[in-house]
Structure 1
Amino acid sequence: MRSFKLLDRLLGRSAAPAPFVSGESLRALQSALEAGKPCVLPLGTTVVPAPEYPEAERIAASIRDYPEDWAWTMKGYKLIHTPSGFVLWVANQDYGLAEVYSNGGKGDFSKPEQAIIWPAVEGWLARRKVGFTGRLPKARITGRSGTFWCYAKEHPWAGVGDSPEEAYRAWSHAISSQARNGMKPNEYLQVRSATL
């Protein structure tokens, strides 16, 4: 071994620079940054600021990226993340967002956290919104002994009448406010709860 190589080896110098290994170099860089020491970043490194509210960012990303994981636990008030059981109170924007605890209590999110989560919640709500199309759902009419019943699985009301038309008319007036606008004065229709 030549004396210069031996001297370089003893002093810890190497002729060629060490190859860049991303995992090791970044760990050393991170420890230096956490310690507050100045350091030189490798060429092409992108520095990204850490999020100020990581929990809010995770919730918003989950609602935005995996909307099928979220469902109503109390329609109009509480959303549940079905894989984890995390419950989010979303009643209205004025009241604010809150985490619902298993004992029934709530932990409110701060205003900056709500500003991160609300756009994702509003997007989820907009996708799940079902508007009234003006068309009544498909109904089923059955009859026995001169009495006809009209009902649909989606609604808890059944219309009763002496003819299929009368039963359908009673049922449509029970479930549709638009149909009720067409009722005659002093007209009475027989409607029963289908849940009994």
Structure 2
Amino acid sequence: MRSFKLFDRLLGRSAAPAPFVAGEALGAMQAAMEAGRSCILPKGAVIVPEPKHPEAERIAASIRDFPEDWGWTMKGYKMIHTPSGFVLWVANQDYGLAEVYSNGGKGDFSKPEQEIIWPAVEGWLARHKVGFTGRLPKARITGRSGTFWCFAKEYPWAGVGDSPEEAYRAWRHAISAQARNDMKPGEYLQVRGATL
């Protein structure tokens, strides 16, 4: 021991502790524990229990962290992890979650596994709602020489009519199946499609 460290120790002066490097310290502790030796954890260390259901944790983490990797194979029933081809049955919470096998069979997850996976699935479903909300997008109406056009950027259809109301009505019937319920029998509306 060097003399100035000895004096510091004898006089009760504390030297600055060495900086804690997480990777090095944890690697050394893990090696010691695997060898069967005891080790002292640094002050403030948090011990995280090993997951009891690692497969469920991985599925939930994938759905939460990489939602763009998931899509529908059957809307409202089956989700697919596109990179791996893993299919998950998510029809409703009462039935439960299940893995869909390539032969069409299903392997149900246990209740504790479902409790881990289902919140991530609900979050994904909330972002990827199925169906029409019933609300039409905002449309633009332009007119020239007595002919009016109605269109919206989201749809490749334009309604044409002699008045703004006729143009909007034609456009609305072109993009919404619900709006077609109020069409009169034998009524024809003029609609144009965009060329791509």
- Measured against the shorter chain, the TM-score band is 0.5 to 0.7
Distance 1:181 1:82 in 2: 38
Corresponding residue for 2:102? 102
Q: Does 1:134 align with 2:135?
A: yes
Instruction: Pick closer, same or farther for the CA change 1:98–1:31 going to 2, 3 Å.
Output: farther
Counterpart of 2:48 in 1: which secondary structure? coil
Deviation, 1:128, is 1.4
Consecutive unaligned residues in structure 2, runs of 5 or more? 1-23, 140-153, 190-196
1:73-98 CA distances to partner (integer Å, 9 max, x unpaired)? 11111111111111111111111111
Distance 1:134 1:172 in 2: 11
Distance 2:155 2:98 in 1: 32
| TM, length-normalised to structure 2 | 0.59
Q: Is the CA contact (8 Å cut-off) linking 1:136 and 1:172 kept in structure 2?
A: no
Q: Is the CA contact (8 Å cut-off) linking 1:97 and 1:114 kept in structure 2?
A: yes
Structure possessing the higher radius of gyration over alpha carbons: 1
Distance 2:175 2:26 in 1: 65
> What residue identity is the alignment partner of 1:134?
R
> What residue identity is the alignment partner of 1:30?
E
Deviation, 1:168, is 7.7
1:38-75 CA distances to partner (integer Å, 9 max, x unpaired)? x3433334321111111111111110011011111111
Consecutive unaligned residues in structure 1, runs of 5 or more? 1-19, 34-38, 139-152, 192-196
Instruction: Pick closer, same or farther for the CA change 1:168–1:29 going to 2, 3 Å.
Output: same
Identity, % of aligned pairs?
65
Q: Is the CA contact (8 Å cut-off) linking 2:155 and 2:175 kept in structure 1?
A: no
Distance 1:67 1:21 in 2: 34
Q: Does 1:27 align with 2:26?
A: no
Deviation, 1:114, is 0.7
- CA RMSD, aligned part only? 3.9
Deviation, 1:176, is 3.6
Distance 1:21 1:172 in 2: 65
Corresponding residue for 1:15? none
Counterpart of 2:79 in 1: which secondary structure? strand
Distance 1:75 1:154 in 2: 22
> What residue identity is the alignment partner of 2:32?
A
Distance 1:21 1:177 in 2: 63
Distance 1:190 1:95 in 2: 46
Instruction: Pick closer, same or farther for the CA change 1:78–1:32 going to 2, 3 Å.
Output: same
> What residue identity is the alignment partner of 2:135?
G
Corresponding residue for 2:40? 41
Counterpart of 2:60 in 1: which secondary structure? helix
Instruction: Pick closer, same or farther for the CA change 1:103–1:42 going to 2, 3 Å.
Output: same
Corresponding residue for 1:59? 59
How many residues get paired? 151
Distance 1:79 1:70 in 2: 7
